[in-house]
Amino acid sequence: MLQAINKFYKKTFSIFSPGQKRKIIILILCLLFLSLYEIVSVGMVVPLMIIIINPQALLSHDLVKNFFSIELIQYFQNLNVQLIVVLIILFFFLVKYIVQYYLIILQSKTLVQLFHELQFSTFRNYLFKPYQYFLNKRVMDLNSLVNLSISDFVFFYINGIIGLISEIILVSGLVLLAVIVSLSFFPLNINIFYIVAGFAFLVILYFKILKRKQKIAGPNLTQKKYDIAKYVNQGFSAIREVKLFHNEEYFLSKIKNSQKESLKDGAFLFASTSFPRFFLELVFLISIMLCLLLMNHFDFSSVKIISILTGIGVVGLRLFPSLNRIMINIQYIKFYSHITNQIVESFLGSEFQVLAPKNNKKIILKDKIRLENVSFGYNQNLVVKNFNLEIAKGEFIGIVGKSGAGKSTIADIIMGLLMPSKGNVFIDDQDLANDETNVSWQNSVSYVPQNIYLINDTIKKNICISNLSEIEDTNKIKSLIDNFELSVLINSLEYGLDTIINEGIINLSGGQKQRVALARAFYRDPEFMVLDEPTSSLDKITATKIMEIIKKNQKNKTILLITHDESLMPYCDKVVSI
């Protein structure tokens, strides 16, 4: 049993940092304290009710006579002891509900923070995994894990474990208390609950106020969740460019900012699911006190009063809701336990987060790029086998071949995103197998994908995102705008380069998107550039114009063109068929 618990603990909490574990432990201890306080508060009801019914029983007790003077006892005899006891009970429970309120706020903030931190660290772990890791992963699955599964894991699985521990302690104490009271004073007798006239009105009023606040917080949180999902999707969809341009920190900062803005609304919405419980308990308790005063006013028997109060206070008020929550938490833990394996998997291999010391050095290609007997395969199936190629500096080379022939794989190998299973890649005389050389070479490489991705940011940011390590060069951006014939577009926009590109890129044509992507690639001032089917989604006239612009701006840059369009071959200095 202990071995199983230890295994469960190590598996579940292995993904949390020491600081996160401390937060969880502190939260559990606070909830345990509240459970013990609730047990004590319920246990006080019966003796205080006895005092209400027969205050002389307390004042005539030997302990009271020994510790207090006769004058003081006579003074208390003249007071309205019943009212004082009622006020004591209300005060004791009011303190409990105030403490409970702040503990719920603490619980909500802790869980929301854990969700944000775990979501951030999971996304970060994925972004810093080697490029090859993503080749057999579906973006949709990764997106779902980061955005949905993490939420379920924290708010249902982890919160279920925390709630289960505190509720078991509470139920155990209440059961023990009920047994002691029943055996010591009278047989347990559960009567029909008394409901005061204003109970329904207070409940309706409370939920109306709560609903109004939720209407404000709900859309705000939804928007922030959408923003987070958007940046996660963009980070995964453009993983090749992210890895090549080393843009991991850009997307992580966007996620962090959105999480910070959503903390308040997220904490409130999560906490609001717990508010009704203790509100209803408070209103219900007030109703019990009113019923008690009414029963005493109309001379109900003491046995009847105590029986009603004990049945409602000990069993109805706390025991059954806690049993219900225990059952729900057990269901949550069972239902969401599978998510633990998915999250743990994302943390495996985290030691490879940084493949090499990150630097801003660039390799200046002086002579040529050489591939010597390069082989590479997926799942032991070779896509590239004993491939040899030389690309001279300043050369415009085309690679043609059928789909699946390995054209994109060769490009990934040259860019240093994939390491060949056999053979070597040399940049002049430097081997890309060296991590430092690999990173420096990637700083000298640009890539234009077949499916252009534009982030939801300004046109200016979409261009300079390929080189975030340097301060934005406005003059260079304007020069690229002119070179790639984007001036007419920019001048037609109200905010020019500061225009935000819409989701789905609905405000740019295919040719305009292609020009922005080319400006982005050239902004990096690369030594080597890969164009992956750059004209596949363009009409013939636009495709011709794009290729002419590329040739015009090539200068001494080395370019690798991947295509199946034979009409583009005249633009190449050399064509390789595979």
- Lowest-pLDDT range, 153-162, 181-190, 360-369? 181-190
Q: Mean pLDDT, to the nearest integer, of 17-22? A: 85
| DSSP H/E element including 368 | strand 368-378
Handedness of CA 15, 19, 22, 28 (dihedral sign): negative
Is residue 420 classed as helix, strand or coil in its secondary structure?
A: coil
Report the alpha-carbon distance of residue 152 to residue 146 in Å, rounded.
10
User: Which range in 28-37, 75-84, 301-310, 468-477 is most confidently predicted, on average pLDDT?
Assistant: 28-37
pLDDT tens-digit series, residues 456-466: 888 888 888 87
Report the alpha-carbon distance of residue 95 to residue 121 in Å, rounded.
38
Is residue 41 very low, low, confident or very high in pLDDT (cuts 50, 70, 90)? confident
Predicted pLDDT at 130 = 83
Is residue 397 very low, low, confident or very high in pLDDT (cuts 50, 70, 90)? very high
pLDDT tens-digit series, residues 246-273: 888 888 888 888 888 888 777 776 676 5
Predicted pLDDT at 351 = 46
Predicted pLDDT at 305 = 65
- Lowest-pLDDT range, 10-14, 34-38, 161-165, 524-528? 10-14
Burial per residue of 440-455, b for 16 or more beta-carbon CB atoms within 10 angstroms, e otherwise: bbbbbbbbbbeebbbb
- Lowest-pLDDT range, 121-135, 288-302, 499-513? 288-302
Report the alpha-carbon distance of residue 228 to residue 231 in Å, rounded.
5
Report the alpha-carbon distance of residue 207 to residue 480 in Å, rounded.
58
User: Terminus-to-terminus CA distance in the chain, angstroms?
Assistant: 61
Q: Indicate if the pLDDT at residue 490 is higher than 70.
A: yes
Which residue did the predictor score with more confidence, 301 or 541? Answer: 541
Predicted pLDDT at 529 = 93
pLDDT tens-digit series, residues 443-487: 899 999 888 888 888 888 888 887 776 677 888 888 888 888 888
Is the separation of the CB atoms in 224 and 264 below 8 Å?
no
Predicted pLDDT at 191 = 43
Q: Mean pLDDT, to the nearest integer, of 499-504? A: 70
Q: Indicate if the pLDDT at residue 73 is higher than 70.
A: no
Is residue 426 very low, low, confident or very high in pLDDT (cuts 50, 70, 90)? very high
Q: What's the mean pLDDT when you consider all of the chain?
A: 77
pLDDT tens-digit series, residues 319-351: 767 766 776 777 677 667 767 777 777 776 554
- Lowest-pLDDT range, 163-167, 184-188, 208-212, 293-297? 184-188
Predicted pLDDT at 561 = 92
- Total residues belonging to the chain: 578
Is the separation of the CB atoms in 116 and 224 below 8 Å?
no
Report the alpha-carbon distance of residue 485 to residue 517 in Å, rounded.
12
Going from the C-alpha of 459 to that of each of 232, 449, 484, the distances in angstroms are 20, 18, 14
The position carrying tokens 């071949």 is 401
In the chain, DSSP finds a helix count (H) and a strand count (E) of 24, 9
Please state, as a whole number, how many other Cβ atoms lie within 10 Å of the Cβ of residue 514: 24
Residue 79: phi and psi, rounded to 5, are -85, 165
Is the separation of the CB atoms in 547 and 568 below 8 Å?
yes
pLDDT tens-digit series, residues 101-139: 888 888 888 999 989 988 888 888 888 888 888 887 777
| DSSP H/E element including 574 | strand 574-577
Is the separation of the CB atoms in 153 and 339 below 8 Å?
yes
Going from the C-alpha of 367 to that of each of 121, 498, 555, the distances in angstroms are 42, 40, 16
Is residue 354 very low, low, confident or very high in pLDDT (cuts 50, 70, 90)? very low
